[in-house]
Structure 1
């Protein structure tokens, strides 16, 4: 039995966007790969940009749901455990996003149109930073992060490191980062917590056990 058309379209879009990039993954090519008409594709997705956002939400490692869950209920686990999970998911997420979106930067007109569509839909690469900032502010209010911590800078640093990992090592002999994903996530978070925890443990700069 053939899978529902919407699922086939998402699978085809994900595969094409990864292999040929967002620019060359046309709705016509996606529809053909999904074994449906282009008109059928537009029954489910109003635009290619909407389809792209759906691929990010439904086919890539789940970063946004994780952040929203932590914002809603920040105190369930330690700050270190939460941030380490975020770092792992973010690194996986950006590793898939960059190959998809890279082609946009070679087409300024298309990039501008894409950005306009993202603004209309209220989405974009800034959203994870804002969500992580909101989570860290909630932890600061709960006293598990230093009262003077710059949560926006911390969110930007953590997600920036994850994004950097996704492409910085492609030109190296191995083409891979020097650390495993788990070691990377743990190390970045431990380093960040030294700044976030100043004042929480008497200003020692050492991440307290409570974090």
Structure 2
């Protein structure tokens, strides 16, 4: 099997989960070239913009094959320097007294990305970014508390979980492909790889 397969996903999943794993895929199937596209909006599978979509929102459109392949957990994280300076919250209510790092509200293109609203009203936000990587770096630098996916936060030893047992936010992961190309060998190989990946890494995506 050989050729290009374009996969689209959100920035966080693409940068902190898929990029390294696709390197493993190309090592075993060197004829396949994966193009990983990261966007903060849903890319249109029906227009064949990507071949495959990985998202926490199921893509919509005619003749799409979409299935849930797993989920991931988010939790509040802060830096050690922030917790020394401000003290850690003991309860969810205490979160109201802390500074937060979050998305740019009016630029959130997908409703499920409003995950901070599930634990508090995002009023005391001291830094905003459309980039999850930028948010994570700001949290690690001590700007405030951020609600981050476990799979990304665990890559930075400067980050400390805050109230991990009291705050549980989850998002499903959906794999989508258009029926016109789902049977193509190289596309089928990548979809099989991704399905196995999310099954094998369920613990990594959901545990500290």
> What TM-score range do you get, normalising by the shorter chain?
under 0.3
More strand by share: 2
Larger radius of gyration: 1
TM-score, normalized by length of structure 2? Answer: 0.25
Larger relative contact order (CA 8 Å, sep ≥ 6):
2
TM-score by length of 1: 0.25
